[in-house]
Structure 1
Amino acid sequence: FHPHAKGKNIRLDGQLRRATRKNSFCNGITFSHRPVHLYEKVRLRLSGVHTGWSGALRFGFTSLDPGELTPTDIPKYACPDLVTRPGYWAKALPERLALRDNVLSFWADRHGRVFYSINDGEPILFHCGLSIGCPLWAIIDIYGITQEVTLLASLEIVIKECIITPRLYYELCKNFKRSCAMEEREVLTPCCSPTPSSSTLSSSASTGFSTPRVVRGLPSPLDNDLHFHPVRGSDVVLSADRSAACIHFLDSSRTLVFSDRPLHAGETLYVEVGHLGLPYFGALLFGLTSCDPASLHAGDLPADPEVLLDRKEYWVVHRGFPMPCSGDVLSFSLLPSGEVHHGVNGVGRGRLLCVDSSQVLWTFFTLHGAVNRLRILGKTEMINAPNEPCSPVLPPHLPAPLSVNRSSSASESSLGRSPHGDSMETPPVTAPSSPLSLPVSPTLTALELPSAGKNGECTICFDQDVDTVIYTCGHMCLCNDCGLKLKRQIHACCPICRRPIKDVIKTYRP
């Protein structure tokens, strides 16, 4: 840590490796004592966590030398005080991840993006838009429930010959332009057609896909009536028939692509992955939404799709796919029950997530890191698709996080996973308006379900306005006073869906 540039409540140990915030919940800003290299991981152990406050650690980077700051220049908070100044970039760590002894790693790449991971898990895109043309110092604001952090040895994750070689940059640009030109000449025709070779992936090195190979277990033929939507991230290039999407590896961050029509219950979508074969963090992100892509503007699509969870539509985001091989074929099956199953090269990998199948849902993807291509091969329709209720427990080999926005009546929640990533044991209940339909026990008819009044009154006191959301089901049917009283009861459950109450969160309307 920098020995002098720190908030007035910060105390450093003799080795400048441990920073502790004394008193209050703020004035805990610290900086690294030297600039941090691109692709160098800053690693922190959250060695002191206190649950008496709200909010958690803030972290990021600055292009200004903290050694030139005076004590009066350092504000109480990194967010919003510091980040409103030019040359400072920082955001908050989600409070659910700020657990004692968790190890936080964060770093910046050459595209001005910041990633972080917890306990060396899957890297998560955290921030975009850093100025990388100058040195960057780390910002660590020991805020809220985070009271003490310990700096661990940093790690260099850059592989220089694969990242910054000018010849490599030239070759990547040349290959990218060549492949896009070939697509415009419609070389990339749908590779799954009702022919004996329908399971052969026609590809070449110049198109970014692997050499031709047969993938066993793929159905034949595939319907090719599903393509990418013209509305897409600004860094995405589509082929002439919109069956393939590609990005520029070195400059891409806004890479959202959507299907041009909804994925119907009982359908399975097959996509082929292509990538450059270089070591790089991030791979692929998949999701479903009730938002018609035609209602979106390409310029408004964010680099991080989790930003879309704040929209009023229904969004489900799944990140954390293991790095696929170039030429792998991924399948996504939407069952009538709301389960989404996933497969690789014809081999089922189990349930990926659960969604509200009563809504019309478009699929979307983002491409990250070495994955620079995605091609829709086609889709099939299931026969006698199972219709069992959807359970929240994911298979043990699927550790990826899941984010959900249920629409304007609920905020995002994590389903079926504890903050540690393990499965949560949940008593069987039914959640009629939740994206999960859990095993049925007890059930309520529509006449028995309590509902908010016409003016949004609390379903318990029928006096105060609804201003509280129930975690984890997401229902908003209580005032804050009744919510707190209900939470203190033994075996407290939501008055609408009877799902156990883990917390109640007060909301604020503009």
Structure 2
Amino acid sequence: YIKFVETNTSWSGVMRFGFTSVNPATLRGCDLPRYACPDLTNKQGNWAKALGERYTASNILLHFSVNRGGDVTYGVNGEEKGLFFSGVVTSQPLWALFDVYGNTVTVEFSHANAEIEPPASASQFDMSPQSVDCNHFQLSSLSLNGAPSSPAVTPFAPLIFWHAHITLVPLQFHPLMGRNVSLVTDGTIAARVKHEYCNAVVFTARPIRCGETLVIQVLGIDRSVISGLGFGLTSCDPANLVSSSLPDDSDLLLDRQEYWVINKDICRNSEVGDELSFCISDDGEVRYTRNNQVPVTLMHVDRTLPLWAFFDVYGNIKKIKLVGTTMTPCQGHLPWSPTMSSYSNNSLGDGVSSSGSVGTAHGSSVLTLDMPPLGHMRPGSMGTNISRSSSSLPTSCVSSSGEYACETSTTYPAASPLATPVSQ
């Protein structure tokens, strides 16, 4: 049993967990890769998978187990969720493996009767069944004399406001897409199929460069849905994918062998005409802003890889336009207009936390273990709490009393197997 003690919403992804047959005592810190998935799972004797993004909340109680057939099942808050993955070799000792990753900040070993807080009620969200699109009526189609005629609907894209003075280089979506989304006009507009709410992933036609800002505009919304747009980056060239291989839940893309990161709750209370920008800094920090507001950090990515941007046209956003890209720094530098104050009064994304400053990127995802000096380690002296340090990416092992276990520090990659084997 693992209890999520602290989480945040400034990152993408949730803890990865599973099993390993490699005795941690035989490993050195430098032997562990940066990521459990897919780096560690590509090595023999390691099995792990990412928990779904919807479980990004504190006071979640996770339990999981493996049977002799190698099937790993899991549950959340006492409710069984079923099969998580298969293929674990159980003919040898197994250690539990955790990667304290993404939005997961602090976890602790727990028990079946641990107290947890109930989830927030969905009533706090706007559930008005209203769909808004950027289609306007042509007044010329209305007749003042005689029988009324049916008004013709003409597609109309709102004017670009916040990025009007920036030279944007046109960029199209890749022709490979999910089954429930279609591309219109010149390949720059993606629209989700009516009455469908999944499998609507679209990719950029080329990788996004470090220092480049990608701008999209919201063209259609559905206020009957409470979740937001999904945005992510991947090292997988969409030309190597087939549409049928894309899952209904884009969280499952994290199970693929390529590098994938995603944040699925962006701009939950959007309006038609909203301009959203995404920028990858030179140190791998991915920043997001809505209508020239203060940028916030969504995630940190491996900048050494070619990364295609992708969008899950999901939640309340049903149609987007890929406006273009620029290498000119523009997030937080564009002029503000009082005529657009209604935009500035909206939150950046409701599901994405904002702050007055942008978080600092880190070069790698590492686990920092505060260890006793050599010769002073006692069995059981290491605590049951594992948390990421205040610098976001590094994590720390903390004693059960809340004090650090010792004075010296040793740095290891974030994939952290349990110290003792798990009985089957």
Higher strand share: 2
Q: TM-score scaled by structure 1?
A: 0.42
Higher relative contact order, structure no. (Cα contacts within 8 Å, ≥ 6 residues apart): 2
